Amino acid sequence: MDGLRRRWDERYRGRAAAPEPAAVLRHFAHLVPTTGSALDLACGLGGNALWLAERGLEVCAWDLSAVAIERLRAAAAERPRIAVAAEVRDLIAHPPAPHSFDLICVVRFLDRGLAPKIAAALRPGGLLFYETFTREEAGGDGPSDPAFRLAPNELLELFGGLVVRGYREEGRLAVPASALGNLALMVAEKAL
């Protein structure tokens, strides 16, 4: 885990600002609530955490990289109106507790063993916004190891206990300019 942490720290040292909100938040923005508690899981520099907090949610943002978390704290401190609790946390060793969030956002992070714990961490009626790389149309962005990319429809299977409210996995049919060809986007709700 230390080697992984060092690699991510190194990457984030070379990056300045938090990225724009992810496609799953932009495309399904109308489904994002404006109150409640949210977790940006494996948040990196926290572009999604900041966006969710700007919408009115109380946001926890967790990541392995201390460099990323320090940057996110600084970015959040520049926006006094918002609430982001950023924390260095190994999510495999310390997953979120059951029934603890109204919304969980996972972007470009995939650990299949964590999926049941993510679903369990949603409160009844809670929403999962998930976006990560697929194997189809691989190339360009994302991990080169196919183990870290989704098989077709895999996100639907991993979270089969939730009700799907929004889904896009366009693969080779995607319009090139959309940059969606190598991504799966899902919004899913935990039953009340």
The whole-angstrom separation of Cα 171 and Cα 107 is 18
Query: 47 or 96: whose CB is closer to ligand SAM?
Result: 47
Q: Which of 23, 56, 73, 109 is in the footprint of ligand SAM by CB under 6 A?
A: 109
Q: Choose which of 57, 76, 107, 127 interacts with ligand SAM (CB under 6 A).
A: 107
63 or 102: whose CB is closer to ligand SAM?
63
Sole residue written with tokens 């926290």: 46
53 binds ligand SAM (CB under 6 A): no
CA 47 to chain centre: 10
Label the pairing between strands 84-88 and 37-41: unpaired
The residue within the footprint of ligand SAM, chosen from 59, 64, 103, 184 (CB under 6 A), is 64
43 or 121, CB closer to ligand SAM?
43
The residues in 66-85 that bind ligand SAM, with binding defined as CB under 6 A, are: 68
122-133 and 84-88 strand pairing: unpaired
CA dist., res. 90 & res. 163, Å (int): 28
Share in percent of the chain as helix, strand, coil (round to 5): 35, 25, 40
Q: What does DSSP assign to residue 44?
A: T
User: Contact at 8 Å (CB) between 122 and 190?
Assistant: yes
Neighbours of 189 (CB within 10 A): 17
Q: Which stretch binds ligand SAM (CB under 6 A): 53-61, 87-95, 147-155, 178-186?
A: 87-95
Site string for ligand SAM, 6-45 (x = CB under 6 A): --x----------x--x-------------------xxx-
Residues that bind ligand SAM (CB under 6 A): 4, 8, 19, 22, 42-44, 47, 63-65, 68, 90-92, 107-109
